[in-house]
Amino acid sequence: MFDLFDDYTLRTVALGSAALGITSGALGTFAVLRRQSLLGDAISHAALPGVAIAFLLTGSKAPLVLVTGAALAGFLGTLTVMSIVRTTRVKYDAALGIVLSVFFGFGLVLLTFIQRRPDASQAGLDRFLFGQAAGLLRRDLLTMAILGGVALFVMLLVWKELKLLAFDPDYGASLGFPMRALDILLTSLLVVAIVIGLQTVGVVLMAAMVIAPAAAARQWTNQLGLGAALAATFGALAGIVGSVLSAETERLPTGPTIVLCATAIVLASLLAAGRRGLLWRELRGRRDRRRLRLAAVLADLQALELQHPGAEHGHSAAVVSVMSGGALTTLEELERRGHVRRLGEDEWALTDAGRREADR
């Protein structure tokens, strides 16, 4: 099976996935910050009928044709969401759900219709559902790279305006920037980022490539620029690893593999990243709790000592645990540290070092 994929194919697959990962990662940063993560899901699902219609109208499977159809349909989908929100009492999340399912359903119907046709030229359109990196050709790669490059270039060009849009649109409007137009521009860039990934990742899971890298990057940095760069890197990493894995392995679907790679990056980031990381927070919390418990038991022993002055006197764990709760393991730990010594089977007293520690 492996010899089916020579270096050329693998390189095409890896480069294409990197292009889609970089673009969707960087632009996803803005989507996530603006709490529009699910807009990506609506766009990608809405793109499916666009692919089918583009093929039906032209009979061509050229990447630019299909991507254009996908982009138009994706854009139409977001416009529909916006006008539903503006003209009816349906809320944003419900509007997203409606558009997503209606467009996607229509796309599936068209796809089925195309596949039932007698000619063989339609073969391969169903890869837009779950994605297929293995079929990526040089011309696909070129289309993806150019479109992604243009989207990133525009993003960098109006970076400060987009930052204004994401942070404080009212203030931006007072400065004279057309915030509605910037909103539409950013959405269009997001549409581009999504449609170039459809062939590889598929409409069903493409939203994850918008959300996951940006969410992971947010764990590591508090700077917008660095966050976008990191998200682009994570996106590329997930894309390359996922697509190569799936190309090298029989019957491993590309889209889901890439998305699982992205998810792994998110999980690792949630757990391990600096101060926001759950793992460090938990470890820090445990350390603090243990330190408090040790200090509490020492203080209790000291209080007992003051109540029973004079001769050396031990106290049972039960007495201490009435005061601090769960004292035995803590007493044993303090003994290991030399702060407490054991006078009898269950008799504990402070050492000199323990007294000094308790005074601190």
303 near other proteins, judged by CB under 8 A: no
Q: What are phi and psi of 313, to 5 degrees?
A: -145, 130
Smallest gap from residue 182 Cβ to other proteins (A): 10
157 near other proteins, judged by CB under 8 A: yes
25 near other proteins, judged by CB under 8 A: no
In the complex with other proteins, the residue whose CB is nearer, 56 or 185, is 185
In the complex with other proteins, the residue whose CB is nearer, 88 or 222, is 222
92 near other proteins, judged by CB under 8 A: no
Question: Is residue 47 within 8 Å of residue 127, measured between CB atoms?
Answer: no
Q: Which of residues 174-193 bind other proteins (CB under 8 A)?
A: 174-177
154 near other proteins, judged by CB under 8 A: no
166 near other proteins, judged by CB under 8 A: yes
Q: Which of residues 227-266 bind other proteins (CB under 8 A)?
A: 227
Residue from 163, 337, 341, 355 that binds other proteins (CB under 8 A)?
163
Count of positions on this chain that bind other proteins (CB under 8 A): 25
Nearest to 201 by CA among 327, 92, 44: 44
Binding mask 128-147 for other proteins (x = CB under 8 A): --------------------
Helices (H), ranges, the chain = 7-33, 37-58, 63-87, 92-116, 127-130, 138-157, 159-167, 169-175, 179-201, 206-220, 224-248, 254-272, 278-307, 317-324, 327-336, 352-359
In the complex with other proteins, the residue whose CB is nearer, 101 or 223, is 223
172 near other proteins, judged by CB under 8 A: yes
Question: Is residue 198 within 8 Å of residue 19, measured between CB atoms?
Answer: no
84 near other proteins, judged by CB under 8 A: no
Question: Is residue 30 within 8 Å of residue 166, measured between CB atoms?
Answer: yes
Residue from 65, 79, 94, 158 that binds other proteins (CB under 8 A)?
158
164 near other proteins, judged by CB under 8 A: yes
DSSP-derived secondary structure letter, 158: T
Reading phi first (left if > 0) and then psi (alpha if -120 to 50, else beta), residue 342 is in beta
Q: What SS3 class is residue 277?
A: coil
Question: Is residue 39 within 8 Å of residue 190, measured between CB atoms?
Answer: yes
Q: Which of residues 272-301 bind other proteins (CB under 8 A)?
A: none
Question: Is residue 23 within 8 Å of residue 148, measured between CB atoms?
Answer: yes
Place of tokens 């803590």: 330
In the complex with other proteins, the residue whose CB is nearer, 33 or 71, is 33
User: What's the CA gap between 81 and 43, in Å, rounded?
Assistant: 10
Smallest gap from residue 42 Cβ to other proteins (A): 22
In the complex with other proteins, the residue whose CB is nearer, 66 or 164, is 164
| Residues with Cβ within 8 Å of residue 312, at least 6 apart in sequence | 343, 349
Q: Which residues bind other proteins (CB under 8 A)?
A: 33, 157-161, 163-164, 166-168, 170-177, 218, 221-224, 227
